[in-house]
Amino acid sequence: MDFYLNLINTIGIHTMLGLSAYLLLQTGQLSLAQAGFFAVGSYTAAILTVIFQWNIFPAVLAAMFLAGFLAFLVGFPALRVKGLMLVVATIAFSEFVRMFFYNLKWRVTRNGEEIGPDGTMGFAEIRYFSDNGWSNLEVTFFLWTFVIIVMGIVWWSDNSRSGAVLRAVGEDELAASSVGINLTVVKV
């Protein structure tokens, strides 16, 4: 049963990653930086919960804000390029993030065991949920509640004025800017 719950959890995590790509693709941009932002958020939440022993909720919020801030910083220079060069630039960013975490070694000893990121071995011993008495089924419900909230936000965005603005920019940037849509704000 644990295998299937872990599989369902992996599907939920990748669903959120896919939804982030969907929102960006609506604007007609192909960016592959989502993997880098996803890694920054994941490692931030893991470090805060495992090493600094934060509660999961503020750790996830802090991870979201850090990844969002980094996306904001990367977004402005990325506006200067389009098409294939945007893809290359965003792959370069994601590769930089991957290599950073590939080389990050920050191990601490807790209860006689070393925990934390270990470079090429990844981030082992993330046991926040089991250490706090969560069963795999509870983790699945927690994760999928978050996925459903994100899906609801994306659905709402899709059917609101902001979704129409994203689609307008994706269809024709010149026409969108001529009707008063600020392309910089929409793309970043």
φ, ψ (nearest 5 deg) of residue 63: -65, -40
Span 108-144, pLDDT tens digits: 888 888 888 888 787 877 778 888 888 999 999 999 9
Contacts of residue 25, defined as CB under 8 A and 6 or more positions apart, other chains included, come to 170
Q: Alpha-carbon distance 138 to 133, whole Å?
A: 10
Give how far Cα 136 sits from Cα of 5, 38, 60, 139, 146, Å.
7, 22, 19, 5, 15
Residue among 151, 152, 123 at smallest CA distance from 49: 123
pLDDT higher than threshold 80 for residue 79? no
pTM score of the predicted model: 0.83
